[in-house]
Homo-oligomer: A and B are copies of this chain.
Amino acid sequence: VPDDWTNLARRLPGVGRREALERNLREAICAGRLPAGTRLPASRALARELGLARGTVVEAYQQLVAEGHLLARRGSGTTVAAARAHPTPAAPPPPPAAPAPRISFHPGVGDLAGFPRALWLRALRRVLADAPPEVLGYGDPAGRPELRAALAAHLALARGMVTSPELVVPCAGFSHALALLARALRAQGARRIALEDPCIPLHREIVQAAGLAAVPLPVDERGARTELLPELRVDAAVVTPAHQFPLGATLAPERRAALVEWAQAHGRLVIEDDYDAELRYDRQPVGAVQGLEPERVATAGTVSKTLAPGLRLGWLALPPGLKSAVLAMRAREDRHLNALDQLVLAELLASGGLERHLRRLRARYGARRERLVAMLAERAPHVRVRGISAGLHAVLEVPDEDALVEAGARRGIELFGLRRFWHAEPRGPGALVLGYGAPPEHAFAAALAALGDLLDQPA
């Protein structure tokens, strides 16, 4: 028995001698140190060498024979199994991390440091104290009934929606809802879907990956130009009526009417992205379009803007005609979200804990927006601010968005130009889509000052 073999007796923390031998031997084979065809010492010889009981070695050999790493043939002893490629998969090294920006004005996230950790933990403690064991089972692919009931009640009251627990499906956010709807529409024969121009590029990718053509729907100061829908010959339209993303308008009343009339007259589907409707600072948010035509509108919302995107928690209120197709997809795929997370959100809705959190958020973000507007009036009066007083972002019309984004990057300030949101060519002036919600509260004043310095100076 050569010296090399003695390494096989290396002890491993927390496991016995038999298992340590087995793991060391397996690792030596997988790493190629014991190539195919290598003849192993007789169990008696190896046991003596390693100071182990013979039975320990026999068992380890048997285990690796069972796994296919070793071959045992009468008369020829035990050998390493036939040559196979056993590389450690050569995953490319992760790209060198770009230095994190000092200040981010990401338009799609709120203040992550403000996530109400204690509120979440308390709610989970209550859920774990009260929930019967059955909630931990496979469960209904449509989701927990407690959450579906709490959401249906919340959406009726807060968003003027006409729905019922049977039609509300918890999901992992708007992009998940859109992926489900796009695949369901494609399976029903749909070919083309309109998306606002500008919009979030990921939403175009989602519908294209489902096999649908993404058709641009122009947007102006009154929101999406829904009066154009009949001539676009699309099967569905994705819209952000409460707060157009990114341009920031609320869909005007005649545009809402045109949207609903198109869906009714042509039997089409409206997909309403209600991503930040809880955050309006100047008045009550406009109710969801879904309330006008619950048979033809699917509305999806999320806690990404009000709690945190990392929770991957949202909901989809379905028109009755799409319910079975979407639920069948859930049943065949992820089944549903973590039941505990669903019960925590239900608890936060039912207890009023989420509503109290929202009141704090509205005060905080509303004040941030006012401070932004005041700073701009003082330090960059040439910058026009577009969009309603809502959500986490404002649109700042600037003479040269690309130069500003680059100048910001040089100073460690992450800015988002409007350019990335157009389908193809820009249909309007250059702008920054400025996420005033993103900086942590304690750093907001400094972030605003840094933005002022940037806009104050030639790029």
Contact = CB atoms under 8 A, between A and B. Distances in A.
Given A67-B256, A294-B86, A310-B340, A164 B109 contact: no
Contacts of A84: 260, 264, 292-293
Given A121-B125, A253-B66, A253-B68, A109 B138 contact: yes
Contacts of A136: 112, 115, 308-311
A65 to B, nearest CB: 6
Contacts of A94: 166
B86 A162 contact: yes
Contacts of A176: 333-335
Given A112-B137, A284-B19, A334 B310 contact: no
B256 A164 contact: no
A67 B139 CA distance: 37
A256 to B, nearest CB: 4
Given A206-B332, A332-B179, A115 B133 contact: yes
Given A312-B338, A333-B179, A67 B253 contact: yes
A299 interface: no
Contacts of A59: 283
A134 interface: yes
Contact of A128 (B82, B120, B133, B205): B120
A69 B292 contact: yes
Nearest to A91: B166
Interface residues of A, number: 104
A160 interface: yes
Contacts of A250: 66
Residue among A18, A136, A138 with the highest chain B CB neighbour number at 10 A: A136
Interface string A91-113: 11010000000000000110011
A336 B312 contact: yes
A350 interface: no
Contact of A335 (B109, B173, B308): B173
A291 B308 CA distance: 38
A257 B163 contact: no
A157 interface: yes
Contacts of A26: 160, 287, 291
B172 A335 contact: yes
A286 B67 contact: yes
Contacts of A341: 338, 341
A424 interface: no
Contact of A294 (B87, B92, B128): B87
- Residue of A82, A124, A333, A339 most packed against chain B (CB within 10 A): A333
Contacts of A69: 287, 291-292
B253 A65 contact: yes
B291 A311 contact: no
A431 to B, nearest CB: 22
Nearest to A208: B332
Interface in A280-315: 283-284, 286-287, 289, 291-295, 304, 308-313
A89 interface: yes
A310 B138 contact: yes
A382 to B, nearest CB: 31
Nearest to A117: B128
A138 B312 CA distance: 8
15 contacts: A23-B157, A66-B253, A68-B257, A85-B293, A87-B162, A121-B125, A121-B128, A137-B309, A173-B334, A176-B333, A176-B334, A209-B328, A310-B340, A311-B338, A338-B338
A-B residue pairs, 9 tightest by C-beta: A91-B166, A310-B339, A136-B308, A172-B334, A112-B133, A68-B256, A136-B310, A113-B133, A179-B333
Interface of A: 14, 18-19, 22-23, 26, 30, 59, 63, 65-69, 81-82, 84-92, 94, 108-109, 112-113, 115, 117, 120-121, 124-125, 128, 133-139, 157, 160, 162-164, 166-167, 171-173, 175-176, 179, 202, 205-206, 209, 250, 252-253, 256-257, 260, 264, 283-284, 286-287, 289, 291-295, 304, 308-313, 319-320, 323, 328-329, 331-341, 352, 355, 440
Given A63-B284, A87-B295, 9 more contacts: A63-B286, A81-B292, A136-B308, A138-B310, A172-B335, A175-B332, A176-B333, A176-B334, A334-B334
